[in-house]
Amino acid sequence: GSPRVDLQAGAIQMEVEQAHRIATGRGVSIAIIDSAVDGSHPDLRGRVRLARNLAERFPVARGGEVHGTAIAGIIASAVNNSEGIIGVAPDVSIAALRACWAVEQDSLAAQCSSFTLARALETALSLSPNVINMSLAGPSDPLLSRLLDEVIERGIIVVAAQAETDESAHEFPASHPKVLSAHSSAAALRVPSVYRVAAPATEVLTTTPGAKYAFLTGN
């Protein structure tokens, strides 16, 4: 088993272990557009099939960055490997597309640009994953909107985080039509979309660079 499962209140609440009897993500590919993922983390080893750095101007510390590694851990941490935690879909194949960079070393906060996000979406289009995950939020952007239209037309599911801020100017890409808006189950839904899913987002135990774990809050 995974020794820290009892500390995963969110996974218990969502009955993740029971859901694994039905599906584990086997055969599903997901492009994570985020900061760098530490693919060598014990709970992520073998999950990251490729990693591309699309924000070369911003150096990445060896071993990935906190936000991208945390998101990958929530999604895909291994089950029954006698390590750490369990992921929602432990058998998925990950393409880690770095379009964001940590504000400071070892910081959860990260920044992205329209240019790097566009490069990541174009790369994702060439990879044709089943799902694209964008746990980020910012102002609406015409180029990114067109790319998202193309992605969705190809049948790729896009999941984006609802912004933590109350500023309506920072609800993109969750506000884009047919993007699945992921929001905290403890917060009100602000993005007016019929495509939405709620999940725990407070004090979530997940993977961090350097074979570590931490309780993190946010999108």
Task: Give the integer Cα–Cα distance in Å for 40 and 211.
Answer: 8
Better pLDDT: 8 or 147:
147
Between CA 74 and CA 218 the distance in angstroms is 12
pLDDT, tens digit, 9 for 90 and up, residues 138-193: 999 999 999 999 999 999 999 999 876 655 567 899 999 999 998 876 665 555 55
**Residues near 53 by beta carbon (within 8 Å), at least 6 away in sequence:** 36, 60, 98
Q: Cα(71)–Cα(69) distance, rounded to whole angstroms? A: 6
The model carries a pTM of 0.90
- Name the residue among 70, 78, 88 with its Cα closest to residue 1: 78
For residues 68 and 63, the model is more confident at: 68
Name 188's Cβ contacts closer than 8 Å, sequence gap at least 6.
none
Mean of pLDDT over the chain: 88
The partner residues of 208 in beta bridges, in order of sequence, read: 212
pLDDT at res. 144: 98
Q: What's the rounded mean pLDDT across residues 55-84?
A: 89
Higher pLDDT, 199 or 49: 49
Amino acid identity for residue 94 in this structure: I
* pLDDT at site 125: 97
> How much is the pLDDT for 165?
60
Round to whole Å and give the CA distance between 179 and 157. 7
